[in-house]
Structure 1
């Protein structure tokens, strides 16, 4: 059984004392304070669920981290109904964001709210009477998640504060940023400690989505890759990927799914390729009062074609959606004759031209829609169906770790010719879709990542770490020396000691 990354929508509420008379009239015996809540094993689990909740957190504005990364890259356009529809994505696409406008507030808040929840649990769990082995596991899971939050924050903002423990509200205004090297060291420490306390396997029927050793090691390998610690990165990935990549399962049971298209079937959750997975549910009661609180996958409706209708019985049963994250014509031409094309691109242009189905063109329309998570009538939920699709998202999957290990080995100076481990890793990904082997070069690895992981939130971070964002994204307005990082949200700068990054006019 495999490690998964579980998104649980938590009903975890801390009741805060208010100042109004109505609040003061509430029976104080019904109040639950922070100090008297963390008493039982059940309390510890609820707090753990609350930390997991932030991983799958989707903005009420109908986007998530993956959507931001997609429109920031060169392969997809924001789309939607017009140039201000989900404006955070529109300004990301055109690189007209600033400290007050853009999706960076979501990224910052997602990270630090998750870190806060993690820190509270870690500060309280020692005082909870519970099974020691289970307690060690909860601590390990929490540290792995905290590391993931910090990794996103340092990747996106570079200069960020390290917040340890719980901070008195009056001291929040005095927190300062740490250099990126210190943040990376903190992330490595959390992950190394987490790995020792995590289970090697889990029963996915009851625990699918929770961290195990494989997920933490894959994340550590990725962190080390971003730090250019090539051999150390490869060593972590080697454990995750196993001794015979593409041939037999690793020690954790990971193995490439035989059919690429099966990766995005709602019935294929927690498959052998999934390492870190955001879990979505079709049984959620999410509604338009707070769309971001839904457990459903919002990409399923935002990426669907507007005004979709079938003409012939052979037409796909797509749900009408909002036409976001459409692929560019250039990307369609790039993937057109690759075996992964059909599962990646929903070609509405072809369906309409051939009289099979019809749709209404949205903003930025190219006719090439993002097909991996697109909602289908056959998969729609009973409750507010547009918000409650149960298609999961991958944060890290095995093909990704194969390619990252191959890249780490190449850059470490290890032999990567025919018969080598690096050669086996790269070409296992290609063989899965029936492609012939190619040499292990940086160019071939980059090409394979673009084809294999299209729309999965990896393209923009890849371009930045390869130093190719400026040249590749100039057509969108990307400016070298500025847009490699996000501006720190203005709300975090006001009356605090946090400084704006120099890329955005600050001094940090």
Structure 2
């Protein structure tokens, strides 16, 4: 079977641009700003290094894991020794550097985009292409993509940390103080605007499969919607400075109508579309087909599910995925590599059922157990409920042989089904991971077998963001219709419920709670859980004074010699 190819740069894009630890990278091959970025191959390698910075070393520093743990959808979980999951879940930072890997990798990515933007603009690639027009198209793609990725990294930082140091040129000083919240978002919006204006308007079905997972114009337009909603919501509901505009670096701003127009461009011209069935986005819809046995997951077989795959419009393993717009691609790992497990999807590993290796749902560490309130309050008629939440002890779910391990904390009876370990017998009858079999990987270690894409942006979000910004129900009802639900009139409450059910466990809920100003009331409950087999209660201690932000890593504050100030509530 065809092996998947990933542009994971383990030691390329090696630019030393400063004296601070968080921005330094090793120049392993003698490449520098003077000797690199001279050919299209250099730029492609450099861009691979940019995408490489999405990966972080520590699981709690991973955006989707941290955001899921902090949301009201999921509990810390894990075993008694999984203290970090419980700390993130309960807004505690005794280790001082819980989120440092996110900080470090984001600034590594920013440094690399700065170099690409500056060096590509002045490079002459004409001798590498048949025409000057093609050379210019290559430059525009590289510069636009780099601007998007710089916005992506600053947005990741801003969502978690607030205003951060802005370093937008290779020679910028590295000891600048933190910018304000508005200044940080002005930089994000300006980079996105530049990406939108620079990247080509190539419809999705004609975008080469080899570049699937990379940013394009439509992704930049979709992210402008997300950035606008987060910034205006945060300023209005958390910062008590109401606004309906997104600032730009030049002093201008973008209003709701302008951002809605970007989303309408995606809707009308991008070629992206909703999958026919929400459940076909998730790999569990493929296990019966792959194993040639409808009894492995009876529920999926009865529903006639068919995975759309994760190679874009390429239908190699499914019908073709037109909904996933921007994804983090994962491969496999090897313990012989330095940080050899960061390229496997640890959201799937850490969120899978603890202590049970079942078919088709394999074993993981049991983090991020699902809040039973979500299950109880979700309408059974909505197929996304069973399409998102995995029940244990249910034969139709492939969990009939499940048993409660004696080291599972925050046990609720529910795990997430979207990102989870999947496995089934191979032709020899040996149970192996789904992606190990699909892509022919030799190492079947249960910790290294998760090559499922993480979806940062999908088309359903474009529709729901458009409804929220315009106050209209068309996009909202398109998403509901896909789930077989009746149309509703637009209201913010209806929009909130739709996002809750459409994007459960996809790392968006926490940021929605913050921007809507719902975070202070989201945790007013107590749950009965099981901790290592003993009855216990669970309650979150969210502190409003933190304003929805996590602490600046203490080691970064020390490295700055006091230039950085700690976030409120974490001093």
Query: TM-score, normalised to structure 1's length?
Result: 0.83
Aligned to 1:424: 474
Alignment correspondent of 1:434: 484
Partner Cα separation in structure 2 for residue 256 and residue 29 of structure 1: 44
Q: CA deviation at 1:343?
A: 1.7
Q: 8 Å contact 2:78–2:85 — kept in the other structure? A: no
Looking at structure 1, the residues matched to 185 and 463 of structure 2 have their Cα atoms a distance apart, in angstroms, of: 23
Q: Give the C-alpha shift of residue 13 in structure 1.
A: 3.5
Q: Give 1:33 shift.
A: 4.0
Report the Cα distance in structure 1 between the residues aligned to 2:209 and 2:398, rounded to whole angstroms: 43
1:48 aligns with 2:10: no
What aligned pairs does 1:95-244 form with structure 2 within 5 A after superposition?
A: 95-97=91-93, 100-102=96-98, 104-130=99-125, 131-167=135-171, 171-172=173-174, 174-201=175-202, 202-228=206-232, 229=245, 230-242=256-268
1:114 to partner: Cα distance: 0.9
Task: Tell whether 2:359 aligns with 1:359.
Answer: no
Deviation (angstroms), 1:184:
1.5
Please state if 1:342 is matched with 2:368.
no
SS at match of 2:330: coil
Gaps spanning 5+ residues in structure 1: where? 1-5, 18-27, 243-250, 311-315, 411-421
Instruction: List aligned pairs for 1:268-287, cutoff 5 A.
Output: 268-269=309-310, 270=312, 271-281=321-331, 284-287=332-335
Any idea what SS the aligned residue of 1:395 has?
strand
Q: TM-score, normalised by structure 2?
A: 0.75
Measured against aligned partners, the alpha-carbon deviations of 1:158-185 in whole angstroms (never above 9, x if no partner) come to 12111021247xx43x311211212222
Aligned match of 2:278:
260
Distance 2:96 2:43 in 1: 37
Measure how far apart 1:34 and its partner are. 4.3
Give the number of equivalent residue pairs: 458
Aligned match of 1:298: 346
With over 3 angstroms needed to count, the CA separation of the structure-2 counterparts of 1:67 and 1:29, relative to structure 1, is: closer
Q: Which among 442, 450, 455 is matched to residue 394 of structure 1?
A: 455
Shift of 1:133: 1.8
- Which of 431, 452, 466 aligns to 1:405? It is 466
SS across alignment from 1:358: coil
Query: Which residue in 2 is equivalent to 1:327?
Result: 370
Give the Å deviation of 1:384: 3.3
Taking CA–CA contacts closer than 8 Å with sequence separation of 6 or more, which of the two structures ends up with the larger relative contact order? 1
What value does the CA root-mean-square deviation take over the aligned residues? 2.7
Q: In 2, distance between residues paired with 1:108 and 1:457?
A: 18
- Displacement of 1:502 after TM fit? 4.8
Looking at structure 2, the residues matched to 186 and 167 of structure 1 have their Cα atoms a distance apart, in angstroms, of 17
Are 1:374 and 2:420 counterparts?
A: yes
CA distance in 2, matches of 1:15, 1:80: 37
SS at match of 1:472: coil
SS in 2 for 1:375: coil
- Give a deviation string over 1:328-365, Cα, whole Å, max 9, x none: 11112123612112221111143499982223431111
Q: CA deviation at 1:500?
A: 2.2
- Asked if the contact 2:147/2:195 (under 8 Å) is kept, the reply is yes
CA distance in 1, matches of 2:570, 2:344: 39
Task: Report SS of the residue matched to 2:147.
Answer: helix
1:383 pairs with 2:442: yes
Distance 1:304 1:108 in 2: 26
Alignment check: 8 A CA contact 1:10 1:50 kept: yes
1:47-96: CA deviation from partner (whole Å, max 9, x where unpaired):
011101123x14344762101100101111121122x41x4322110111
Mapped partners of 1:29, 1:307: distance in 2 = 41
Aligned-pair CA distance for 1:485: 0.9
Q: Structure 1 residues 294 and 108, CA, compared in 2 at 3 Å: closer, same or farther?
A: closer
Q: Which residue of 2 aligns with 1:489?
A: 553
Q: Would the aligned equivalents of 1:307 and 1:321 in 2 still touch at CA under 8 Å?
A: yes
Alignment of 1:450-461 (within 5 A): 450-461=500-511
d(CA) in 1 for partners of 2:140, 2:178: 30
Is 2:565 aligned against 1:500? yes
Once residues 165 and 446 of structure 1 are traced to their aligned partners in structure 2, the CA distance between those partners, rounded to angstroms, is 39
Q: CA deviation at 1:455?
A: 0.2
Tell me how far 1:126 sits from its aligned partner: 3.4
Q: Return the alpha-carbon distance in structure 2 between the equivalents of residues 367 and 289 of structure 1.
A: 36
Report if the CA contact (8 A) 1:296-1:390 is conserved. yes
Q: Which has the higher helix share?
A: 1
Separation in structure 1 between the aligned mates of residue 197 and residue 28 of structure 2, nearest angstrom: 41
1:477 and 2:541 matched: yes
Moved over 6 A (4+): 14-17, 352-355
